[in-house]
């Protein structure tokens, strides 16, 4: 007489456990990679937002009207080098109403500061890549690149590049570059 036993053999249980383990590990890997991708995407979005804030400014905030908008209104460039620029803004009669300076400041996280005629520096944004997170390139009336420290009277166009390092790894998480033609320079 053959005895019939109900249940699973040890081999069946081990194979089922191995299959379930492979499925759980692959699901775990998928979830972790999704989470890391989400975190990286949020960091990239924050970096772009930081760079855009430095370029475009903040609506209704006189301390940060925006580097690009102010530079477009420049009537005279007083000094310029690779990581700073100082310029005047004049009224319609040609009277200087403000002198603005934008510069890179090497600090713990690197920052862009704006100083106006009152002489009080205001930090516009932090997390600027060190050392070249704020970079100016200057062009003459023919569109030719000028030296790193140009003669201010020769400048007719300014290229502004901002690189942001949100996570502090020394690599740019976002970079924005634009070229500006100051409208009021003769």
Is 47 inside any structural domain?
Answer: no
pLDDT at 75: 93
pLDDT at 59: 64
Is 113 inside any structural domain?
Answer: yes
Is 33 inside any structural domain?
Answer: no
What total of structural domains would you count in the chain? 1
Is 76 inside any structural domain?
Answer: yes
Give the domain range for residue 170. 53-180
pLDDT at 175: 92
Is 78 inside any structural domain?
Answer: yes
User: What are the residue ranges in the chain where pLDDT is below 70?
Assistant: 1-4, 59-60, 63, 108
Is 141 inside any structural domain?
Answer: yes
pLDDT at 8: 85
Is 86 inside any structural domain?
Answer: yes
Residue 71, token pair as written in the block? 């530079």
* pTM score: 0.77
Is 144 inside any structural domain?
Answer: yes
Per-residue pLDDT tens over the stretch 150-163: 999 999 999 999 99
């Amino acid at each position: 007489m053959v005895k019939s036993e109900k249940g699973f053999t040890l081999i069946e249980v081990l194979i089922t456990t191995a299959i379930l383990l492979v499925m759980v590990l692959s699901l775990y890997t998928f979830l972790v990679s999704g989470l890391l991708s989400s975190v990286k995407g949020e960091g990239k979005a924050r970096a772009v937002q930081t760079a855009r804030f430095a370029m475009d400014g903040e609506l209704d905030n006189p301390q940060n009207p925006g580097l690009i908008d102010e530079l477009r209104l420049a009537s005279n460039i007083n000094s310029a080098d690779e990581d700073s620029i100082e310029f005047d803004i004049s009224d319609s009669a040609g009277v200087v109403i403000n002198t603005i300076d934008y510069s890179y400041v090497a600090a713990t996280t690197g920052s862009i500061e704006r100083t106006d005629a009152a002489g009080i520096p205001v930090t516009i944004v932090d997390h600027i890549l060190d050392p070249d997170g704020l970079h100016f390139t200057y062009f003459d009336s023919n569109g030719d690149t000028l030296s790193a420290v140009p003669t201010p009277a020769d400048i007719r166009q300014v290229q502004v590049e901002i690189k942001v390092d949100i996570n502090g790894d020394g690599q740019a998480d976002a970079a924005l570059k634009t070229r500006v033609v100051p409208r009021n320079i003769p």
